[in-house]
Structure 1
Amino acid sequence: MNRQASIVQSHANALGALAMSAIQRAKKRLQFREACRNRRPWTEEEVELLRMRYADEPTETIAAELGRSVANVYGKAKRLGLSKSEAFLASALAGRLNGSQGVTHRFSKGHMPWNKGKKGLPSAGRMAETQFRKGSKPGNWLPIGSYRTNQDGYLQRKVSDTGYPPRDWVSVHVLLWEEHNGPVPPGHCLCFKDGNKQYIELENLELITRAERMRRNTIHRYPPELRDAIRAVGRLKHTIRRVEREKQN
């Protein structure tokens, strides 16, 4: 009982920290919205100054004189349809705008890359000893006709060897159905009548629409009070997993 109580207390403390974190994030969002609402509007004099000087002066200089951010000045100029003049872009004042920044680190016109015409890179050191040879197969490779059980618990058989698992492996119950009834129609799927995925018999298979399958697998088929309990448990599990991930990070 003491161990269970300590676990519950730890989860409660974690949820408390998580709640405080959520409150802080919400507070920052509210502060940002308040700052946006209280943003200083542009006066007619500032707009006129921007129209006169934006084309031929650095934006940083104009922003400093107006007491505004560079991004704010850029945004206002864009809304007004203003742009830098060709003379300014060609000058040294333009900096990155005229394309001169980083020019010493670019490939020159006509530059030939060292690996042009080469396929792959040459093996260095002992690389060649551990590389796959042509025709080699991975250690988990299985021949056609092999069986496996996938993560969802369905028994599958390998029907081809293309290297693309969704095409190579087909569920055995689907193969059984198609052998007797043809392909599964679009928008339909097969389910086991008794819910046992290992009882693969034709009389245990049922062809239903995917919409019907969704209705069967959702919580809406339960009474309202049970649906609320399932949702509450799901939210609790989600919160616990998120707290555990935060602890690991």
Structure 2
Amino acid sequence: MLSSIAQAALDKARAHHQDATSPPTRRPRQPWSEVEVEQLVALYPDTPMYQLVERFGRTDQKIYAKANKLGLRRSEAFLASPFAGRIRPGAELGKGTRFQKGHKTWNAGISYQAGGRAPATRFKPGQVNGRAAQLLKPIGYERVTDDGILQRKIRDDGPPQRRWKSVHMILWEEQHGPVPAGHMVAFRDGNRRNFAPENLVLISRAENMQRNSIHRYPPELKDAIRAAGKLKRTIREKEHEEQDRGSA
């Protein structure tokens, strides 16, 4: 019969042995979405690795692996900058082995020029190569989001999230102009494939939140809420019509 102290020590040793022999838990694989791939294509040439790690929530090894698979390369300007390494700017690693101020290297002033076809095969500034070029969708290309919204690519420059715009927003703005701040364009019948002009309605974001929250109510109360919202829209439209007549 072991004492309480000896038993506790034995239990602790068994637990430690079990933890040491248990197979390591593997993190679930995190696939790259189409949007993330396009953002990586746009950001990789000139963005420091620590910012890419923060942006995508992945290790630098996984980002390097994905970039290599896509054929992405760092730009010449980035490789010449202090951000080319994996460490954050301001780190003092390797300070003792750096050239000191005023030190002249043995190859100073010597110009090197690769021979053969090297100059003709270099990537030009801003050029995207290989597989990455195939992933950049042309302007006018359409895609469907996870929420079922049809989007169209409208530009190649700027932040990746601003290169796409909802098709129903584009159609509404073609007839009515820019969407006012704090508002959005919704589908009157809830069908996100019905792009008929009469089915696109401008509503406030507060009204959209109210629309999305009525589903927990019974059917008769839902009908009453929708009727009240329709009445408010009709009143606003009449008020705008009267204001237009008065200013004419």
User: Do these two structures clear the TM 0.5 threshold for a shared fold by scoring above it?
Assistant: no
Q: TM-score, normalised by structure 1?
A: 0.35
Whichever of the two has the greater Rg, that structure is 1
Q: TM-score, normalised by structure 2?
A: 0.35
Higher helix share: 1
